[in-house]
Structure 1
Amino acid sequence: MKLRALLFDLDGTLADTDRLHEQAWLEALARHGIKADHHYYQTQISGGLNPEIVRRVLPQLSQAEGERFLAQKEARFRELAARVTPLPGLLELWGWAQERGLKRALVSNAPRENAEHLLERLSLRFDLVVLSEELPLGKPDPLPYRTALQRLGLGPEAALAFEDSPSGVRAAVGAGIPTVALTTGHKARDLEQAGAFLCIPNFTDRRLWDWLKDHDPAMS
C-alpha cells in the first residue's frame, strides 16, 4: 500500500526538548528530596504519562498535590522551551509530505497545554492531534496510535511513525506501524530492541531519505 501518513511524537521527536523536560523534572523532584539524575530520568520518567509517574515516584502526594506538582513542573518546562526550534531536517520532511498530500498526525503523551505551546513555537499545524491524556490508555499502550489510524481511516501499512523513546516505539510498533526512532534521548540499541527499524539523529539522515525514496507515493 502507498505511504499516506506520517505520525509524529512530540518531545524529542519534533524538537530536542527531552533535556528541558529532564531539567524541569529534576528541579521539581529535588524540592521533594529526590536527588535524581539523567539515568533516573531515562529509566523512571522518559516516555511515561505524568499522573502515573507521580503516583509511582511520589506516592505520598494526594491527588490534588500531585496535580499542583505537575502544573508547576509543566509551567517550568514551557518557560525553558520558549526558544525551541525544530530538529534539523524536519521542515524539509514536512514540505516533502505536504507536496505529496500525506496526512500528518501528532500522537503524544504530552499535556494539551504543552503540545499547543510547542506547536505554536515550531509553527507546525497537524491534520490530526491525538493526546494520550484524552484517551483511556497512553503510550506504551498502542491505543493512541490505533486511534490516530482509525481517525485517519488508514491501515498501519500506510503510515510511518517517528518516536524517540522505547515506550513510544513500543506503542507505534504495537499498532503495527513501521517506526523510525530519533536518538535525541535514548541509545539506538534500546530503541531497536523496542522495535524501531531505523534509528537516526535527526531528519537529515540519508538512510531516512533513501527509505522515503523507495516508498515515495509520487513514484508509485
Structure 2
Amino acid sequence: MADTAIFDVDGTLVDTNYQHALAWYRAFLRFDIVLPIWRIHRSIGMGGDQLVPSLTSDEVEERHGDALREAWTEEFEPMIDEVQPFDGAHDLLAEVTRRGFQVVLASSGKSEHVEHFLDLVDARGLADAWTSSDDVEASKPAPDLVQTALDRVPGSSGIMIGDSPWDAIAAARAEVPTIAVRTGGFSPEELRDAGAAHVFDSLRDLIDGLDDTPLARARA
C-alpha cells in the first residue's frame, strides 16, 4: 500500500498536451525542421531534454537543443491563458487527500508554469510538495522526477497518476505503480503497454473508481 500520491500536472490535471504539441511544432519550424504534429504529440510527456533527440537526432540536440527549448517557451507562453483544468482536478486532489495520502505534484515543466497551474487547480492548500524541471537533471522517462517527488515528503512508497506512457515508464523505473487517465490523448493500450495498472477515461471516472485502485486508502 502507498502513502503518497504523485500527480503529473500537464495533461493530467490541466489540459495542455495539444498546446505543447503545437508549441513544439512551431519551435522546430524555426529551425526548418518539419515534423508531423501527431508524432510530436506521441512524445508529449517527455521533458524537453528527452523530446528533442527522440524526435530528431543527437546531432540536432547538440546543435540546437537549448535554442529549441527556448523557442518552445516563447511559443507556449502566449497560449497559457487558454489552458483550463480538467473537470474534477481539484476534487480528485481533495478526495485523495481525504483518504489519507500525501499529495505531491510532479511536474517537469518550467517552475513559473507549475506555479500558474497550481493556482489554476487551486492546489496550493492540498499539495504537500511539488516539483519542476529545475529539480532534476533528467526528465521523464528517466525516473528522477518520480524519485524527487517521493523525496519531498516523509512517505516511503508512492503511486503515480499520469496521462502519458512516459509517466508510467518513469514511475516503473522508480519502482512505483501507475494509474493512468486518458486526458492526454493516449489510448488505453498505449498506457497499459507502458505499465499502467489501471486506466480511466477521465478524472471524474477515476474519482468514482478510487475504491478499486491503490488509492482506496493510504497505508497507516
Alignment: residue pair count: 214
Structure 1 counterpart of 2:52, one-letter code: V
Structure 2 counterpart of 1:151, one-letter code: R
Conserved 8 A contact 1:83-1:121:
no
Cα drift, residue 71 of structure 1: 2.4
Conserved 8 A contact 2:178-2:195:
yes
C-alpha separation between the residues in 2 aligned to 1:80 and 1:214? 33
Cα drift, residue 55 of structure 1: 4.8
Conserved 8 A contact 1:9-1:162:
yes
Seq. identity, % = 27
Identify the residue that residue 163 of structure 2 maps to in structure 1: 164
Identify the residue that residue 23 of structure 2 maps to in structure 1: 24
Tell me, which stretches of 5 or more residues in structure 2 are unaligned? none
3-state SS of 2:33 partner: coil
Identify the residue that residue 152 of structure 1 maps to in structure 2: 153
Cα drift, residue 214 of structure 1: 7.7
Cα drift, residue 178 of structure 1: 2.4
Conserved 8 A contact 2:7-2:160:
yes
Structure 2 counterpart of 1:191, one-letter code: L
3-state SS of 1:205 partner: helix
Structure 2 counterpart of 1:47, one-letter code: G
C-alpha separation between the residues in 2 aligned to 1:55 and 1:128? 30
Structure 1 counterpart of 2:144, one-letter code: L
Conserved 8 A contact 1:132-1:139:
no
Question: How has the CA–CA distance of structure 1 residues 212 and 193 changed in structure 2, closer, same or farther, with 3 Å as cutoff?
Answer: closer
Tell me, which stretches of 5 or more residues in structure 1 are unaligned? none
Whether 1:115 aligns to 2:114 is yes
Q: Deviations over 1:6-46 (max 9, x none)?
A: 11111111112101101111122223222222332134x32
3-state SS of 1:69 partner: helix
Cα drift, residue 95 of structure 1: 1.8
Cα drift, residue 170 of structure 1: 0.9
Identify the residue that residue 51 of structure 1 maps to in structure 2: 49
3-state SS of 2:104 partner: strand
3-state SS of 1:115 partner: helix
3-state SS of 1:137 partner: coil
Q: Deviations over 1:157-193 (max 9, x none)?
A: xx32111111111111222222111212211111101
Paired residues for 1:92-131 under 5 Å: 92-125=91-124, 126-131=127-132
Q: Deviations over 1:40-84 (max 9, x none)?
A: 2134x3222213433563735766x54343223223212212032
C-alpha separation between the residues in 1 aligned to 2:114 and 2:106? 10
Question: How has the CA–CA distance of structure 1 residues 82 and 104 changed in structure 2, closer, same or farther, with 3 Å as cutoff?
Answer: same
C-alpha separation between the residues in 1 aligned to 2:91 and 2:214? 14
Identify the residue that residue 185 of structure 1 maps to in structure 2: 185
The TM-score normalised by the length of structure 2 is 0.83
Structure 1 counterpart of 2:7, one-letter code: F
Conserved 8 A contact 1:141-1:171:
yes
Structure 1 counterpart of 2:35, one-letter code: A
Q: How big is the alpha-carbon RMSD for the aligned residues of Structure 1 and Structure 2?
A: 2.7
